[in-house]
């Protein structure tokens, strides 16, 4: 048999005698694409520095924020409640991370797009229950929805693993929220589409515009758990689907931020830090009146009966283990109280005078 019979495509002629790699056009293109992806990752993480190089501030602008190109001046920045120098661009522009409004839903019993161990934010309002997948929130960070007749926002910041659930009404207005593309203390800054003003999640308040210093009402009766636990406990509930209108469903199956969660390193700076605990140590933070208090998730789940009952400024707070998943349910929150699940670094950065629940100061 001849060489051409043994190798009908004559592939052996493409391999150098030295045994080195032959750079075909396909391999060259793949190498260029991989290189561009690597540059893109660096540019995303360091976007504010890249932006300063591409768009240096000019003396001619005369704008108040001209020397801080991180701040997007298309927002209403009047009565700013946070230091402007501490605001940083996270990478995507305004609405580059698209919040979801009026999500499509499905009954949990037919939600074959969900895996049993998928994390969800489970919310119950006036007897109506719905799960919001965190694998979707990773890419959208906010659901604007109506549940039990109440307009709510389910807010998630993947950099802080922070969840809060709020009533979108304030005064005589109902607000719809988007993602500003900016961060403060490594936490998402939302904006409202009524006034284009900024709001901080972990800080609990509007930080600019006509509502500066005001807070939305925070809801209790929600939990972070797995879809398996949620659907088993609430078989008549619904779940927000992967049909968001923005990305194909397959995108939401990826392990977004997996590398970030494996380390204790932060992507963006914070103004205040506390080394008693690891940055990404999970806590439930509660503010009632003038008192802020942090509850470690592992102490709640490890408490007798998986339940902690506490009193802050004379008002009762109840936290419970949400099944066997190491997650927490906000079972009871007094009117006017504010609550969220987050990492220790974020809670301390916004609430440096926080109290800590007995047992948290263990040097974890």
Check: CB of residue 224 under 8 Å from CB of residue 91. Answer: no
Q: What is the pLDDT of residue 26?
A: 66
Return mean pLDDT, the chain: 85
pLDDT at 60 exceeding the cut of 90 = no
pLDDT of residue 54: 39
Tell me if 106 is assigned to some domain: yes
Q: Is residue 71 part of a domain?
A: no
- Pick the range with the lowest mean pLDDT from 89-93, 180-184, 254-258, 323-327: 323-327
Output 28 or 268, whichever has higher pLDDT: 268
Q: Quick one: CA dihedral 347, 353, 358, 359, positive or negative?
A: positive
Among 55-59, 198-202, 334-338, the minimum mean pLDDT is found in 55-59
Q: pLDDT exceeding 70 applies to what percent of the chain?
A: 78
Give me the pLDDT at residue 209, please.
Answer: 98
* In a domain? residue 197: yes
In this model, does residue 10 exceed pLDDT 80? no
Mean pLDDT across the stretch 277-300? 95
Name which residue leads in pLDDT, 218 or 55: 218
Record the tokens describing residue 358, joined without a space.
């007995």
In this prediction, residues 198-224 reach a mean pLDDT of 96
Q: Are strands 315-321 and 142-147 parallel, antiparallel or unpaired?
A: unpaired
pLDDT at 322: 78
Q: Give pLDDT, residue 41.
A: 42
Cα separations in angstroms, 332 against 83, 223, 307: 34, 11, 11
Q: Strands, DSSP E only, in 43-86?
A: none
pLDDT band at 58 (very low <50, low <70, confident <90, very high): very low
Give 255 or 10, the one with higher predicted confidence: 255
Mean pLDDT of 340-353: 97
**How high is the pLDDT of residue 55?**
42
Whether residue 60 is contained in a domain is answered as no
196 φ/ψ sector (left φ>0, alpha ψ -120 to 50, else beta): left
Residue 50 C-alpha from the chain's centroid = 23
Question: Does pLDDT of 260 surpass 90?
Answer: yes
Range of the domain at 298: 84-356
Kindly state the tokens that stand for 177.
Answer: 């929220």
Name the least confident of 144-158, 171-185, 296-310: 296-310
pLDDT recorded at residue 254: 83
Of the ranges 7-21, 170-184, 210-224, 310-324, which one carries the lowest mean pLDDT score?
A: 7-21
Answer with the residue of higher pLDDT: 257 or 41: 257
Tell me, what's the pLDDT at 236?
97
pLDDT at position 156: 98
Residue 170 lies in a domain: yes
Give the residue carrying structure tokens 């997996």: 258
> Which range, of 21-25, 51-55, 97-101, averages the lowest pLDDT?
51-55
Q: Name which residue leads in pLDDT, 63 or 118.
A: 118
Task: Give percent helix, percent strand, percent coil of the chain, each to the nearest 5.
Answer: 25, 30, 45
Under the phi-then-psi rule, with left for phi > 0, alpha for psi from -120 to 50, and beta for the rest, what region is 271?
Answer: alpha
Instruction: Confirm whether 42 is domain-assigned.
Output: no
- Maximum CA pair distance of the chain? 93
| Phi and psi at residue 362, to the nearest 5° | -120, 5
Q: Where are the beta strands (DSSP E) in 227-332?
A: 238-240, 282-288, 291-296, 307-312, 315-321, 328-332
In a domain, 62, yes or no: no
Cα–Cα distance measured from residue 325 to residue 246, given in angstroms and rounded to the nearest whole number: 30
Instruction: Sheet with 128-133: list strands edge to edge.
Output: 105-107, 238-240, 128-133, 119-125, 222-226, 328-332, 315-321, 307-312
In a domain, 166, yes or no: yes
Please count the structural domains in the chain.
1
């Amino acid at each position: 048999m001849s060489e051409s019979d043994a190798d009908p495509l004559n592939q052996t002629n493409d391999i150098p005698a030295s045994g080195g790699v032959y750079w075909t056009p396909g391999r060259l293109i793949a190498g260029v694409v991989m290189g561009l992806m690597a540059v893109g990752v660096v540019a995303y993480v360091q976007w504010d520095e890249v932006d300063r190089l591409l768009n240096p501030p000019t003396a001619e602008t005369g704008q108040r924020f001209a020397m801080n190109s991180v701040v997007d001046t298309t927002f209403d920045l009047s009565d700013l409640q946070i230091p402007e120098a501490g605001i940083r661009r996270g990478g995507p522009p305004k609405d580059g991370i698209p919040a979801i409004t009026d999500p499509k839903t499905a009954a949990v019993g037919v939600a074959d797009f969900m895996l049993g161990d998928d994390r969800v934010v489970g919310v119950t309002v006036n007897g109506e229950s719905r799960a919001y997948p965190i694998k979707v929130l990773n890419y959208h960070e906010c659901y604007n929805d109506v549940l039990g007749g109440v307009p709510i926002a389910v807010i998630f910041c993947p950099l802080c693993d922070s969840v809060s659930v709020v009533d979108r009404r304030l005064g005589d207005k109902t607000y719809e929220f988007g993602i500003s593309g900016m961060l403060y203390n490594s936490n998402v800054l939302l904006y409202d589409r009524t006034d284009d003003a900024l709001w901080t999640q972990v800080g609990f308040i509007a930080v600019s515009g006509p509502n500066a210093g005001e807070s939305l009402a925070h809801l209790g009766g929600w939990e972070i758990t797995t879809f398996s636990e949620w659907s088993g406990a609430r078989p008549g509930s619904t779940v927000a689907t992967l049909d968001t209108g923005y990305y194909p469903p397959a995108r939401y199956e990826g392990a977004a931020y997996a590398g970030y969660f494996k380390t204790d390193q932060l992507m963006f700076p914070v103004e205040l830090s506390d080394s008693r605990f690891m940055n990404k140590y999970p806590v439930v933070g509660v503010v009632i009146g003038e008192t802020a208090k942090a509850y470690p998730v592992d102490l709640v789940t490890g408490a007798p009966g998986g339940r902690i009952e506490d009193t802050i400024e004379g008002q009762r707070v109840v936290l419970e283990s949400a099944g066997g998943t190491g997650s927490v349910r906000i079972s009871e929150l007094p009117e006017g109280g504010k609550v969220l699940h987050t990492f220790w670094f974020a809670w301390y950065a916004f609430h440096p005078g926080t109290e800590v629940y007995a047992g948290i100061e263990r040097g974890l």
